[in-house]
Copies of this chain bind each other. A is one copy, B any other.
Amino acid sequence: MPTVRVSVTLKPSLLDSAGRTVAGSLKHLGYEEVSDARIGKLITLQVETVDEARIREMCQKLLANPVIEDFSFEVVG
């Protein structure tokens, strides 16, 4: 059965406060090389058939909020 990996990320212009906290914690732990972190979602779907137009619809309707998030997807296996 095909697997679809959907990546959902906050739009670059928006502040990601959780990501900023993670970056701060990493620096605090001694990982000074980290200058920024952003946190998105990785949604893995098992689908019986792949129809890219329908997957795009699923992203726009439910998986992402297109006002504040960008999404991309790839079919694997």
Q: Knowing A29-B61, A31-B54, say if A44 contacts B37 (CB, 8 Å).
A: yes
> What residue of chain B has the Cβ atom nearest to residue A47's Cβ?
B33
CA distance A7 to B61 in the complex (A): 23
Q: Does A34 reach chain B (CB closer than 8 Å)?
A: yes
User: A35 contacts which chain B residues (CB < 8 A)?
Assistant: 1, 46-48
Partner of A26, one of B29, B49, B58: B58
Residues of chain A whose beta carbon lies under 8 Å from any beta carbon of chain B? 1, 7-9, 19, 22-23, 25-26, 29, 31, 33-49, 51, 54, 57-58, 61-63
**CB-defined A-B contacts under 8 Å, sample of 29:** A1-B35, A9-B42, A9-B44, A19-B44, A23-B45, A26-B45, A26-B62, A29-B61, A29-B62, A31-B54, A31-B57, A31-B58, A33-B47, A33-B48, A33-B49, A33-B51, A34-B45, A34-B46, A34-B47, A34-B58, A37-B44, A37-B45, A38-B43, A38-B44, A39-B42, A40-B41, A40-B42, A40-B44, A41-B42
